[in-house]
Amino acid sequence: MQEFCCEWRISDASGRRKALSEGDDSSSALRPIVAQGLAEEVLERLKQAILDGDLRPGQRLIEHTLANELGVSRTPVREALKHLAAEGLVTVDGRRGLVVSRLSLEVIEEAYMVREVLEGLAARLASEHPYDPADLQKLQRALDAMEQGGLSPKAFDAVHGEFHDTVRNMAHNAYLDRYLGELAAFRTRMVSLDWIPKTRVTRSLEEHRSIYEAIRDGRSDDAERLARQHVASTRKALLQRLQDHADA
């Protein structure tokens, strides 16, 4: 199994743990809510570091080190790592312990194959449901932003993600929304690691425009077909680039 890594840096923590209460008037019954908020913040910080490439594939995740960098106790870090493992972003690597999941050709291909089917279903359902005009406006704004150009890779991915997030929200299927949300992490990591070929951008814009028009016009068969072709084309270009890199 071939694996790919990149150079990395980890950002300084942008804040320290806040006190659970200020003064003695706080009800102890409210403290678990604050603690839960802290756990969620730690989870989001670690997840974003992985998605942004600050924590690289294969990087060891040492509980006490992460806790010190984030300025928190080990408990919320431990809980966050459990969640990240459930999402497939963290895995156990023998004696090394927990590491950021590596991205192999096989893993990427499998993830994109599943995403192809689910994105197609999302587009079909979105075209079949009565839509909110505000959702079409979101899709149009995302398209306009992508087509104007000049966006950084991270900014482009954010707008690109907004387009796909809106489509899956229009599908009105909680399970579909959940699974596609998890698979979106692969797309973000590909962009952060600069693995998406630049040549895909122009063609991708045309594909998004066609998907939008099919959903708008209620052409469910076309919407599903076009969405699947879009993901399949991205998968093919991505795997070819990684294979070329491995052979170089």
| All structural domains of the chain with their residue ranges | 3-100, 103-247
Strand partners, 90: 100
Between the ranges 63-67, 93-97, 114-118, where is the mean pLDDT highest?
114-118
**How many other CB atoms sit within 10 Å of the CB of residue 91?**
14
Check residue 63 and give its pLDDT. 92
Mean pLDDT within 223-248: 86
Res 226 pLDDT > 90 = yes
Which phi and psi (to 5°) does residue 53 adopt? 85, 5
What does the pLDDT read at residue 198?
72
User: What pLDDT is attached to residue 61?
Assistant: 94
Mean pLDDT of 55-76: 91
> Which one is predicted more confidently, 64 or 18?
64
Residue position matching structure tokens 């409210």? 30
Is the per-residue pLDDT at 10 higher than 70?
no
Average pLDDT over residues 154-181: 93
The CATH number of 3-100, from 1.10.600.10, 1.10.10.10, 1.10.3720.10, 1.20.1250.20, is 1.10.10.10
- Coil/strand/helix, residue 199: coil
Other C-beta atoms closer than 10 Å to the C-beta of 99 total 18
CA-to-CA separations, 231 to 18, 33, 226, 236, in angstroms, rounded: 42, 40, 9, 9
Evaluate if residue 144 carries a pLDDT over 90: yes
What CA–CA distance (Å, rounded) separates 108 from 115?
Answer: 10
Q: What is the CATH number of domain 103-247?
A: 1.20.120.530
User: Percent of the chain having pLDDT more than 90?
Assistant: 48
What is the C-alpha separation between 10 and 76, in angstroms, rounded? 19
- Of 84, 97, 76, which Cα lies nearest the Cα of 50? 84
Does residue 2 have a pLDDT over 80?
no
Computed on alpha carbons and rounded to an integer, the radius of gyration of the chain in Å comes to 20
- Burial (CB count <10 Å: 0-12, 13-18, 19+), residue 15: exposed
Helices 220-247 and 105-128 pack at an angle, to 10 degrees, of 170
How many other C-beta atoms lie within 10 A of the C-beta of residue 42? 25
| Mean residue pLDDT across the chain | 82
Per-residue confidence band for 238, with pLDDT thresholds at 50, 70 and 90:
confident
User: Residue 60 carries which DSSP code?
Assistant: B
The fraction of the chain above a pLDDT of 70, given in percent, is 83
pLDDT at 4 over 70: no
